[in-house]
Amino acid sequence: MKRRIGILTSGGDCPGLNAAIRGVARAAYEMFDAEIIGISNGYAGLIDDEWQEMKKSDFSGILTLGGTILGTSRRPFRNMRVVEDDGVDKVAAMKKTYKNLKLDCLVTLGGNGTHKTANLLSEEGLNVIGLPKTIDNDIYGTDFTFGFHTAVDIATECIDRLHTTASSHGRTMVVEIMGNKAGWLTLYSGVAGGADVILLPEIPYDIKEVAKAVGDRAKSKKAFSIVAVAEGAMSKEEAKMKKKERAEFRSTLPYDCISKRIAAELQELAGVEARAVVPGHIQRGGSPSAYDRVLSTQFGVHAAELIRDEIYGVTVALDGNEIIHNKLSDIAGVPKPVPKDDHVLVTARNMGINLGD
């Protein structure tokens, strides 16, 4: 049995991509006669016919490597069926590259947008398997995505380091954690890092409640506070606005990010000295953690097993301790916010962490 496999990584980079690529390749080489084509820079490479034939040696020494050896780019799903100024029919171009390469399967590693396009290609008749990666952990149908735990470790270390400088200066430190639509990363790193306040996109905050929590700590002789805020957090007033209205409102404010805004508001309302800290893309970089190396490898190997068994139109997932797969059509475009009964969220609330509400 011979299988010709295309692999691409799409969307933002994160730790574990190379470990997953390695898992697919090594398991495929072990289980059947495999030829692997590396497609450059995500769906852009599939559209523009940019690829390379991979050798077994290309998959050595990449387990611990961050980023992606294939390169990546963002191609918004909403534009995939739109013919833009360059006149390129992107869907037709991707199908043409797939067929010209005589691929038996395309493996796509990415987040929500990647999975939506993977499902589109599956509906167009291509054999596609998805692998869920994102530090946001917001892909429906899987307990965890690879990249998430590494980002939690990094964000937690950022919060840990802020404790010492906050304590030394008696300041309130507002640290902005990645996560625009889902607060998983902020929740986990906030609990792990001992944050006093955690603000998530799923729970609109009342700045007066946050100021009271910080002020009460100051009055009780606790010299500092740590506020972990997701980049997509919003006030209760903003939550009532439509997306466009919210964007217009924020454009009138003198702050370029949510952490600076909250720090300024806390200084005014709570009378504390506050500083904003934005770790940014540091949270996405570097070598994957041991957990993510194992998870990425498991996901990659399961993808190879699916190829062996000719099971397509699916994405790999973690369910408890079991590696499973879901239909792309069932998970593509489905949001996965932090639910109000999530056990880590309940843990945070029950131990007195202020959630802004």
Q: By the 8 A CB rule, do 175 and 156 touch? A: no
Q: What is the pLDDT of residue 220?
A: 83
| 111: DSSP letter | S
Q: What is the pLDDT of residue 344?
A: 97
SS3 of residue 94 by DSSP: helix
Q: 171 and 273 in one domain?
A: yes
Give per-residue pLDDT as tens, 156-215: 999 999 999 988 888 899 999 999 999 999 999 999 999 999 999 999 999 999 999 999
Q: 178 and 240 in one domain?
A: yes
Give per-residue pLDDT as tens, 204-256: 999 999 999 999 998 888 889 999 999 999 999 999 999 999 999 999 999 99
Range of lowest pLDDT (17-31, 67-81, 99-113): 67-81
Q: 318 and 270 in one domain?
A: no
Which residues partner with 108 through β-bridges? Answer: 8, 130
Among candidate residues 136, 153, 196, 292, the one labeled active-site is: 136
Say how far residue 136 (Cα) sits from the centre of its chain. Answer: 3
What the block records as the tokens of 20 is: 């997953």
- For the chain, give the mean pLDDT: 95
Q: 263 and 159 in one domain?
A: yes
Q: By the 8 A CB rule, do 266 and 210 touch? A: yes
- Helix and strand tally (H, E) in the chain? 13, 11
Strands 314-319 and 322-327: antiparallel
Q: 8 and 136 in one domain?
A: yes
Q: By the 8 A CB rule, do 174 and 306 touch? A: no
Domain of 27 in residue numbering reads as 2-146+288-331
SS3 of residue 98 by DSSP: helix
Q: 93 and 56 in one domain?
A: yes
Q: 141 and 158 in one domain?
A: no
Which amino acid is it at 143? D
Q: 316 and 270 in one domain?
A: no
Q: 159 and 97 in one domain?
A: no
CATH number at residue 97: 3.40.50.450
- Please state the φ and ψ torsions of residue 290, each to the nearest 5 degrees: -60, -40
| 341: DSSP letter | T
Has residue 350 been placed in a domain? Answer: no
Q: What is the largest CA-CA distance in the chain?
A: 72
Has residue 21 been placed in a domain? Answer: yes
Strands 51-53 and 33-39: antiparallel
Concerning whether 136 is annotated as a catalytic residue, the answer is yes
DSSP E strands in the chain: the ranges are 2-9, 33-39, 51-53, 105-110, 128-132, 172-177, 197-199, 225-230, 274-277, 314-319, 322-327
SS3 of residue 146 by DSSP: strand
- Please state the φ and ψ torsions of residue 309, each to the nearest 5 degrees: -90, 5
Split into its structural domains, the chain has a count of 2
The residue to which tokens 């969307």 are assigned: 11
pLDDT for 150 beyond 90: yes
Has residue 234 been placed in a domain? Answer: yes
Has residue 355 been placed in a domain? Answer: no
Q: What is the pLDDT of residue 34?
A: 97
CATH number at residue 235: 3.40.50.460
Q: 167 and 58 in one domain?
A: no
**What global pTM score does this model have?**
0.94
Range of lowest pLDDT (3-7, 18-22, 65-69, 73-77): 73-77
Listed as own residue / partner, the contacts of 220-225 with beta carbons closer than 8 Å and 24 or more positions apart are 223/167, 223/170, 224/163, 224/166, 224/167, 224/169, 224/170, 224/171, 224/172, 224/173, 225/166, 225/172, 225/173, 225/196, 225/197, 225/272
Has residue 255 been placed in a domain? Answer: yes
